[in-house]
Amino acid sequence: MGIRLRVVKLFGNMVTVKMNRMLLRIEYDGTPFVGWQTQENGNSIQKELEVAAQKLIGEPTHIQGAGRTDSGVHAVGQAAHLDVPLNYSTHSVMMGLNSYLKGLPISVLSATKVGGKFNARFDAIERHYLYRILIRRAPPSLNAFRVWHLKNELDYEAMNIAAQYLVGKHDFTSFRASQCQALSPIRTMKTLKINKVDDEIHVIAIAKSFLHNQIRNITGTLVEIGKRKWMPEKLKDILQAKNRQAAGPSAPPHGLYLKDVIYPESSFIKEN
Model confidence pLDDT, tens digit, residues 36-60: 998 888 899 999 999 999 999 998 9
Are 10 and 118 part of one and the same domain? yes
Yes or no: say if 111 and 24 are a contact pair by the CB < 8 Å rule.
Answer: yes
Answer yes or no: is 271 within a domain.
no
In a shared domain, residues 220 and 251: yes
CA 205, CA 79: separation in Å to the nearest integer?
Answer: 17
Q: With contact defined as beta carbons under 8 Å apart, do 25 and 109 qualify?
A: yes
User: Is the domain of 108 the same as that of 169?
Assistant: no
Q: Are residues 79 and 136 in the same domain?
A: no
Could you tell me which residues come within 8 angstroms of residue 207 by beta carbon, excluding any fewer than 6 positions away?
A: 126, 127, 187, 188, 189, 190, 191
Q: Does the residue 272 lie in any domain?
A: no
Residue type for position 8: V
Domain-embedded: residue 266: no
CA distance 222 to 232: 8
Q: Clarify whether residues 104 and 147 are in a common domain.
A: no
CATH of the domain at 115: 3.30.70.580
Tell me whether strands 74-85 and 64-65 are parallel, antiparallel or unpaired. Answer: antiparallel
The answer as to whether 249 is a domain residue is: yes
Taking the C-alpha atoms of residue 261 and residue 160, their distance in angstroms, rounded to an integer, is 23
Q: Are residues 178 and 98 in the same domain?
A: no
Per-residue pLDDT at 41: 85
Please check whether residues 111 and 168 belong to one and the same domain.
no
Helix (H/G/I), strand (E/B), else coil: 49? helix
> CA-to-CA distance for 189 and 171, rounded, in angstroms?
11
Q: Which residue among 123, 149, 183 closes a domain?
A: 123
Q: Which residues lie across from 39 on neighbouring strands?
A: 42
My answer on whether 99 and 217 are in the same domain is no
Average pLDDT per 10 consecutive residues for the chain, totaling 272 residues: 61 74 98 93 95 94 95 98 95 98 98 96 98 97 97 97 98 94 95 97 98 97 98 97 97 98 94 68
d(CA 7, CA 255): 43
Domain assignment present for residue 48? The answer is: yes
CATH number at residue 176: 3.30.70.660
Query: Within this chain, do residues 161 and 238 fall inside the same structural domain, yes or no?
Result: yes
Whether residues 191 and 173 fall in one domain: yes
pLDDT number for residue 166: 98
In a domain, 269, yes or no: no
In this prediction, residue 11 carries a pLDDT of 45
Q: How many domains does the chain have?
A: 2
Q: What is the pLDDT of residue 117?
A: 93
State the pTM of this model.
0.93
Domain boundary among 123, 152, 177: 123
**144 within a domain of the structure (yes/no):** yes
Residues designated catalytic: 70
Asked if residue 188 and residue 90 are part of one domain, the reply reads: no
Residue 14: what pLDDT? 73
Q: Which of 101, 123, 145 is the last residue of a domain?
A: 123
Residue 267 lies in a domain: no
Spatial distance between the Cα atoms of 54 and 271, rounded to a whole number of angstroms: 25
Shared domain for 37 and 90, answered yes or no, is yes
Q: Which domain holds residue 81?
A: 3-123
- The answer to whether the CB of 82 falls within 8 A of the CB of 52 is no
